[in-house]
Amino acid sequence: MVSLVLADTADSSDLSKAAITVEESTSAQQPKFFNYHEFVITKYRALDEESCEEHGPENPICITHFPNIYVPEESDEFRTTRVVRIPRRFESSTEFPNFSTQLPGSEPAALPDTHNKEFVPAGEFEGQWYGETSVSPLSNYLDQAEWTEIVTRINSLLEAAYNPITRRNFVNVILDLLTLNLWSIIEPYLFVNPLQSVEDYVSEINRSESFRLKGIKIIPPRESSYLSVCIDSPAWIKPCTAINEPLLTHCDTLIVLL
């Protein structure tokens, strides 16, 4: 990052007389990446409380999982699943979608964690449990190595699919010219879209024994317009009024890549 500093001059309106110095920012001043999907709230029901109370900015909880918008709102799956959203990394590439390989809570600017990267409920908000840190329920199902392997593969498939310099694209351009753009209408019905490789890989992961046993799945990125990766996971449900029930209610899990 570069900052410009204007020194005092006799005539401040005359910028040509202003002395401009360039100061290189230190690494500590550089922007740090965080999961921009998450946010904090201060009014919630803590574990030892019977009603929702205001806790102030010193004791917030972090919203790290969200309603499953990929199923009908009136369905059982909507009630029993939640979505963990994984953000894009625009500093890595703007030419094609590139998603974060870091589990929520592991990002440089994540809210600090003292529970060894495990999701630990601290408060209830709108019938769902949330923790005090950026760690999401996803960390209770996948470790960093597993997640990195999955997202790295997705990113590499997306890079290959969005690469404009390929033999297929070259042939398509020639045929479009020869057929007055009719080829671009016919071609999708004759050949598989390169992005289908991403969908096939996601389907393969969702069918894996590990994902089936854990009750989690990746939402195909196409459903989120490649804006994020979403994970479908079990809901962490506990109504405000049910303070004597078990801490967690286990349901099907949703993992989404956004």
Q: Residue 105 in contact with residue 137, Cβ under 8 Å?
A: no
pLDDT at 154: 94
C-alpha to C-alpha distance for 161 and 226, rounded to whole angstroms: 13
Q: What is the CA radius of gyration of the chain?
A: 24
Q: Residue 158 in contact with residue 88, Cβ under 8 Å?
A: no
What is the DSSP pairing of strand 128-130 with strand 20-24?
Answer: unpaired
pLDDT at 204: 95
Per-residue pLDDT of the chain (258 residues; tens, 9 = 90+): 444 444 444 444 443 444 444 445 555 577 888 899 999 999 999 999 999 999 999 999 999 999 998 889 999 888 888 999 999 998 888 888 899 999 999 999 898 877 778 899 999 999 999 999 999 999 989 999 999 999 999 999 999 999 988 888 899 899 999 999 999 898 888 888 889 999 999 999 999 999 999 889 998 888 887 777 777 666 654 433 333 333 333 334 444 444
Q: Which residues pair with 128 in a beta bridge?
A: 125, 237
C-alpha to C-alpha distance for 187 and 142, rounded to whole angstroms: 39
Residue that is written with structure tokens 């979608």 in the block? 97
pLDDT at 18: 41
C-alpha to C-alpha distance for 238 and 129, rounded to whole angstroms: 7
pLDDT at 19: 45
pLDDT at 235: 61
Distance set, CA 103 to CA 69, 83, 203, 204, 231 (Å): 21, 14, 21, 21, 11
pLDDT at 79: 87
